[in-house]
Chain A
Amino acid sequence: MLDLLTSPLTKPEVHRDNPTGRGHDHAAGRDGTSNLKAPTNVDPMIQVKDVNLKYGQKQALFDVNLDILGKRATAFIGPSGCGKTTLLRCLNRLNDLIDNVTISGTIRVHGVDIYAPQIDVSELRKRVGMVFQKSNPFPKSIYDNVAYGPRIYGIRNSRLDAIVEKSLRAAALWDEVKDRLRESGLSLSGGQQQRLCIARALAVEPEVLLMDEPCSALDPIATGKIEELIHSLKNQYTIVIVTHNMQQAARVSDYTGFFLMGEMVEFDETPRIFTNPRDRRTEDYITGRFG
């Protein structure tokens, strides 16, 4: 796996999944100033600059700027339809799958523009893993679910067992499923399925883990388990989590961004956002006055 991790993100000779007709402006935003600086002066893992996104004629993101730090958990909060999931899906270019999406601005991971034409999208998605709102295990066995990513990268049976065990342990699922790895992933409970999806994402050893409301369909106990998991994972991974649940953002994240109507209103360290927000709208939202 290490060889894959250190391989360059760009593969000039390969050029897959690049959608046509996407208005992409390299120069835009290079000099754009932002009042929302990165809260520390550590080199950011992900830099989002002047990102605008349209679904057809409908604009979903307006000039979003933010820096996400490595090995921290960053939460995006905001009311439904505010663009937080859209932004999240920009970070691994999953929006490419939707027709009529136009994006401008730049998103850099490790300083590399991920929307540059020579980017290998598969390599990007391998490094920027994702967990979805609705758990979506493959209709395969638990083992095959976790081994799916490594197998795609050509890892053969001898090393797979170790990877599967390690990933399931990291997702705190190993003890519950170790005796039934050959059973269908769909036979698990909802919370277990979501942890299986996390294990599956971890199996390809991503650097960033995007989580799109991972607990929205789970009961409080399962939610607690996932939150614990996020706590333990953020020492090794850069985690970006979208959530509707403000308590959850407060519990698990180090930084929080508040989105409203496609704009990022405020981005700061989580305790500051929740105790002393700068923007009136943020305060209204977290105190429950709207949204």
Chain B
Amino acid sequence: MKQLWKSGDPFIWLTGGALATSLVMVAGLISLVMVNGLGFFWPSPIVRLTLTDGTVLMGQIAEREAIPQPDAPPGTPLQYRLQLKVGNRDLYGADFVWVDEAKITSREAPAEAVLIQRREWGDLYGTIKAVKEGGRVLAEGPEAGWTALQARLPEVLRVSREIGRIDKKEIGAINTAQEKIRLRLRRLELKGVTGGPEVESLQRDMAARQAEYKEQEHALNALRQTLSTSVVVAAAGDKEKDLALALIVRAYHPNTMGLTDKVGYYLAKLWEFLVDDPRESNTEGGVFPAIFGTVMMVMIMSLVVTPLGVLAAFYLREYAKQGTFVSAVRIAVNNLAGVPSIVFGVFGVGFFIYFIGGGIDRLFFPEALPTPTFGTGGILWASLTLALLTVPVVIVATEEGLAAIPGGTREASLALGATKFETTWRVVLPAVMPSVLTGLILAMARAAGEVAPLMITGVVKLAPALPVDGVFPFLHLERKFMHLGFHIYDVGFQSPNVDAARPMVFTTALLLLMVVLLLNLTAILIRNRLRKKYAATAF
């Protein structure tokens, strides 16, 4: 036994086993996320179930599970039940129903079953009965109706997009301009000016904007008038829905789609997920604002945390007299990394938002009060809070890098007549850059996955606008934003329709992993180039 331990073989097995265990856990987690996340967009067939009591149900099977039977004697065959997504929330009240397999008398996949994704009330399942235009029937029956629907849908979608554009861009711009005028009037009022040419000119301006608004509204109404086409869908359970085409996102026949169609549908859904805004309280549509918010927040945080952490580490390692005090500071900094992140969030709220943000509002935006401008959560404050949270990581990594630079290198520079600053700037800083990037990689990964402090410093469920847009000054650091991590929490646990939203949790988690991976790969590439340039590994 002793001989065996001495030989070292058990130790090799031990180390290998530890590594394998970690790998299995990580691989398991990632494959769980990938299987659940990537399968979400695949169009599954619509089934029509007839039950023993004559009820007819139509929908997609979401899950199959064994019915728990605590009282049954051992050996009883397991009973299963199906979770069926029946959609039609406006007709049935709930998207999902559970069906015992034992009660199903027939199961078929009708070819004419149609799935319509809508802007409101979730998916609609059924068969097309008719297509109408302004009360006049254009086509009747599933086949003719489908053809008519296909013919009219592109034009309707185009008009809907146009309406959306006018609503968001044109009217949004008018609103912004009106808000600016209102603030200028308020500023004058605060100064005691309530009349005179300046006020009148502003009021005239306001009136002009109002007229513009009326004009746009008129155009919108005219466009809406053209959208009189609707489709009548017969749903299971003798229900009927007359749906305006303008409310349709897309319609398809999952039971007759070929593989190519399915792949095309899958890619279209994936694309929509990546580049579209969310719909239906985040359970449908895309997560683009959340991707954008996450990446932008990490970028701002990196811009703040890198110089701060590097400078602090330089002082600690290069300038401070090493002793008990510096050691204490170092231990304190290391321990700061263990403070619960929500504590940082609370600090961010108290210091950044109320103290600094409130101060900025009183100094620069008094006319907007009591509506806060910077005195409320926003992407800047969230980024600063996270910078505070991750600064220990950067300090520690930079310090280790500085400690790894041989003292002889610094002496060589000093012996050539360089001052301490020149030595630090020209020799030490370039040599420590790879370590700084290592710290930054760790900090970015931490920041991108953090949720708790963000919830109170500026993340929202649904942000009306991105922090960057075409309205001057283009970068709106005071705006609230969306974040993938918070999105996961919101969709998974705060959603009114948990069953429908659950697959999105996995998809969003997968996306967050990808974003972090992409950010880290970029940093790793830069670090490797720096390493090659300075060949610091040769020490």
Residues on A close to B: CB < 8 A?
16-17, 92, 94, 97, 99, 122-126, 129-130, 132, 134, 136-140, 148-149, 151-153, 184, 186-187, 197, 200-201, 204
Asked if B412 and A97 sit within 8 Å, CB to CB, the answer is no
Asked if A136 and B430 sit within 8 Å, CB to CB, the answer is no
Asked if B419 and A16 sit within 8 Å, CB to CB, the answer is yes
Query: Which of B369-377, B448-456, B531-539 lies at the binding interface?
Result: B531-539
Give complex CA distance A138, B536 in Å.
9
Asked if B538 and A94 sit within 8 Å, CB to CB, the answer is no
A92, A122, A130, A184: the one within 8 Å of B534 (CB): A184
Asked if A136 and B416 sit within 8 Å, CB to CB, the answer is no
Give complex CA distance A137, B405 in Å.
12
Asked if B535 and A136 sit within 8 Å, CB to CB, the answer is no
Task: Please name 8 pairs of A and B residues whose Cβ atoms are closer than 8 Å in the assembled complex, sorted by A.
Answer: A138-B409, A139-B536, A139-B539, A149-B416, A152-B418, A152-B426, A153-B417, A200-B416
Cβ of B444 to closest chain A Cβ, rounded Å:
25
B416, B420, B534: the one within 8 Å of A17 (CB): B420
List the A side residues contacting B409 at CB < 8 Å: 136, 138-139
The 5 closest A-B pairs by CB, nearest first: A126-B417, A136-B408, A184-B535, A186-B538, A139-B534
Asked if A148 and B417 sit within 8 Å, CB to CB, the answer is no
| Other contacts beyond A122-B419, A139-B409, A186-B538: 19, CB < 8 A | A92-B415, A94-B411, A97-B411, A97-B414, A123-B417, A129-B415, A136-B406, A137-B412, A139-B431, A139-B536, A139-B539, A140-B534, A148-B416, A148-B426, A151-B426, A152-B418, A152-B422, A153-B417, A184-B534
List the B side residues contacting A97 at CB < 8 Å: 411, 414
Give complex CA distance A187, B536 in Å.
10
Give complex CA distance A132, B238 in Å.
94
Give complex CA distance A149, B430 in Å.
16
A138, A184, A186: the one within 8 Å of B412 (CB): A138
List the B side residues contacting A17 at CB < 8 Å: 419-420
Asked if A136 and B422 sit within 8 Å, CB to CB, the answer is no
Cβ of B86 to closest chain A Cβ, rounded Å:
66
The answer to the question of B247 belonging to the interface, with a C-beta cut-off of 8 Å to chain A, is no
The answer to the question of B427 belonging to the interface, with a C-beta cut-off of 8 Å to chain A, is yes
What are the interface flags for B506-539 relative to A under an 8 Å C-beta threshold, 1 for contact and 0 otherwise?
Answer: 0000000000000000000000000000111011
The answer to the question of B413 belonging to the interface, with a C-beta cut-off of 8 Å to chain A, is yes
Contacts known (A125-B417, A126-B417); A187 close to B538, Cβ less than 8 A: yes
Cβ of B230 to closest chain A Cβ, rounded Å:
72
Contacting residues of chain B (257-287) with chain A, CB-CB under 8 angstroms? none
Give complex CA distance A6, B538 in Å.
39
Give complex CA distance A130, B430 in Å.
23
Residues on B close to A: CB < 8 A?
321, 406, 408-409, 411-420, 422, 426-427, 430-431, 534-536, 538-539
B408, B417, B426, B536: the one within 8 Å of A204 (CB): B417
Asked if A138 and B411 sit within 8 Å, CB to CB, the answer is no
List the B side residues contacting A149 at CB < 8 Å: 416-418
Contacts known (A139-B430, A139-B431); A122 close to B538, Cβ less than 8 A: no
Asked if B417 and A201 sit within 8 Å, CB to CB, the answer is no
Contacts known (A130-B415, A152-B417); A139 close to B535, Cβ less than 8 A: yes
A129, A132, A140, A153: the one within 8 Å of B411 (CB): A132
Give complex CA distance A130, B417 in Å.
10
Nearest A residue to B423 by beta-carbon distance? Answer: A152
List the A side residues contacting B431 at CB < 8 Å: 138-139
Nearest B residue to A4 by beta-carbon distance? Answer: B417
Contacts known (A132-B408, A187-B538); A94 close to B414, Cβ less than 8 A: yes
Asked if A186 and B414 sit within 8 Å, CB to CB, the answer is no
List the B side residues contacting A124 at CB < 8 Å: 417
Cβ of B414 to closest chain A Cβ, rounded Å:
7
Cβ of A129 to closest chain B Cβ, rounded Å:
7
Give complex CA distance A48, B188 in Å.
79
Cβ of A157 to closest chain B Cβ, rounded Å:
16
Give the most central of A122, A126, A136: most B CB within 10 Å. A136
Give complex CA distance A187, B539 in Å.
11
Nearest A residue to B420 by beta-carbon distance? Answer: A17
Cβ of A156 to closest chain B Cβ, rounded Å:
15
Give complex CA distance A204, B417 in Å.
9
List the A side residues contacting B411 at CB < 8 Å: 94, 97, 132, 136
Contacts known (A132-B408, A132-B411, A200-B412); A139 close to B538, Cβ less than 8 A: yes
Give complex CA distance A126, B415 in Å.
7
Contacts known (A134-B408, A138-B427); A148 close to B413, Cβ less than 8 A: yes
Give complex CA distance A16, B416 in Å.
15
Asked if A125 and B416 sit within 8 Å, CB to CB, the answer is yes
Give complex CA distance A136, B415 in Å.
12
Cβ of A20 to closest chain B Cβ, rounded Å:
12
Asked if B427 and A94 sit within 8 Å, CB to CB, the answer is no
Give the most central of B321, B416, B536: most A CB within 10 Å. B416
Give complex CA distance A125, B410 in Å.
14
Cβ of A85 to closest chain B Cβ, rounded Å:
12
Give complex CA distance A139, B538 in Å.
8
List the B side residues contacting A151 at CB < 8 Å: 426
List the B side residues contacting A129 at CB < 8 Å: 415-416
Give complex CA distance A21, B324 in Å.
21
List the B side residues contacting A201 at CB < 8 Å: 415-416
Give complex CA distance A151, B417 in Å.
11
List the B side residues contacting A132 at CB < 8 Å: 408, 411-412, 415
Give complex CA distance A16, B427 in Å.
19
Give complex CA distance A39, B187 in Å.
89
List the A side residues contacting B406 at CB < 8 Å: 136
Give the most central of B409, B419, B420: most A CB within 10 Å. B419
Give complex CA distance A48, B219 in Å.
96
List the A side residues contacting B535 at CB < 8 Å: 139, 184, 186-187
List the B side residues contacting A187 at CB < 8 Å: 535, 538
List the A side residues contacting B430 at CB < 8 Å: 139-140
Cβ of B217 to closest chain A Cβ, rounded Å:
65
List the B side residues contacting A122 at CB < 8 Å: 417-419
Contacts known (A136-B408, A140-B430); A184 close to B538, Cβ less than 8 A: yes
